[in-house]
Every structure is written in C-alpha cells, then in structure tokens.
Amino acid sequence: MVFFSPLIVMDKRLQMFLTSFLLILVSQASAFDTCPKCGNLEVPYPLSTNENCGEPNYRVYCNNGTLQFSSSRGLYYNILSINPSSNKLIINPPRIQKTQCFTSDFITEGFRIDDNSPFNISTHNTVMLFNCSSSIFLSPLNCTSSSFCRLFEDQMEEGSSCKGTLCCHFLKDSSMTSHRIKVRDGGCTAYTSAVDVQPGLSLDQWNYGIEIQWLLPN
C-alpha cells in the first residue's frame, strides 16, 4: 500500500486552488478590459470606446449604436467590420458627391491617421483617385484606360460625377505612406477604396472600404 505524506496532498490542493484563482482573475481582467458591443459589432481588446475599457491609444467611438473611427482631422467613418484575429478593421470610404467629383472628406484633404497612432492603413487596399491634375503622371500609378477607376466611373452610380476626369488606381503598398489617402486642390479631388480586389469579380461585388490594422500594445 502506498501512503502519501499529508504535506504532499496539501501542496497539491494548494496548487489546484491557486491555479483556479489565477484563472478567475485572468478571465475577470479580460472581461473588464473588453468594451461592450456597439450596435451589432463586438469591440475586441485593445479597442476602446471609453476610459473604462480597452487601451486609451486604441480609441474608437460608439455614437448612437454605430461604431466609428476618427481620422486625425476629426472626421468620423463608420466601422463596417472587425477581425480581432488579424488586428484589422474596415471603415466605410467617404461618399463621392452626386453632382461634383469631390469626396465628403475633401475639406480635410482626405483620410489621415496620426503618425504616432498604433493604427495604419493596410497593404490590402486598392485606392482609386478621381478628377486628378496632370501632375499625377509623376507618380507610379495606373492611369491608363484599363485602370480600375475607369470601370468604376462607367459601372457604378457613385462614380458617375467623376466620369471623363483623369483618374488612376494603385495598391497601397509598404513603399507608400501608411497613414493617409490624400485629396486636394491641384491634385485629385475624390477617391474610393476596395479591400482585397479580385479582378474576376464584378465591381458591385467588391468589398468597398479602407482596411486599417493595429499594432498590439506593449
């Protein structure tokens, strides 16, 4: 017959108790750090909708049940989806006006994220620029008749006000700034963006949006 020392039994019980206690603390901390849902969207850590949850540098905004992302210029863009496993979210691109080829964020020169922000524009965005000046030819963009922007002008109602203007498209890659999409007088006055464009799909099946990724907190 094998006999166990009372001290060994006690050590095992203490170890089990401490393990259970730590698991409870971890789950409670996780629940405390995660913000409540906003509308139909979960708000995963480290995103923060208020000072009591998430991390303050990862601020998003729950406005009347709509989750939004703010540019560094103070414009709000609706968040369409969030993928916490890849640390990415997609925001709605600005609308192009029906009567003039200008986007709704033209007044702030497009979309911009603060350079010190943990957020940046991912490399999965195909950006289409419209109503551009001839100086755009100095940039390595696709401004040919086969550019995606031409298809957008011809096939999508939103692009109709830009039809016939000089337009270009480009894939937002690591060699470009990852914190802004710029429009301005003397440049281009409107833009839109689609995520993970598949050339075989019709334009009305594209995933329109601006994909933003975030770095994990230290």
DSSP of 60-87, one letter per residue? -EEETTEEEEE-TTS-EEEEEEEETTTT
Domain limits, the chain: 86-214
Per-residue b or e along 45-55, where b marks 16 or more CB atoms closer than 10 Å to that residue's CB: bbbbbeeebbb
Residues 14-65 have pLDDT tens digits of 566 555 544 444 444 444 589 999 999 999 999 999 999 999 999 999 999 9
Residues 112-132 have pLDDT tens digits of 999 999 999 999 999 999 999
Please state, in angstroms and rounded to a whole number, the distance separating the CA atoms of residues 197 and 58. Answer: 27
pTM value? 0.83
Residues 61-109 have pLDDT tens digits of 999 999 999 999 999 999 999 999 999 999 999 999 999 999 999 999 9
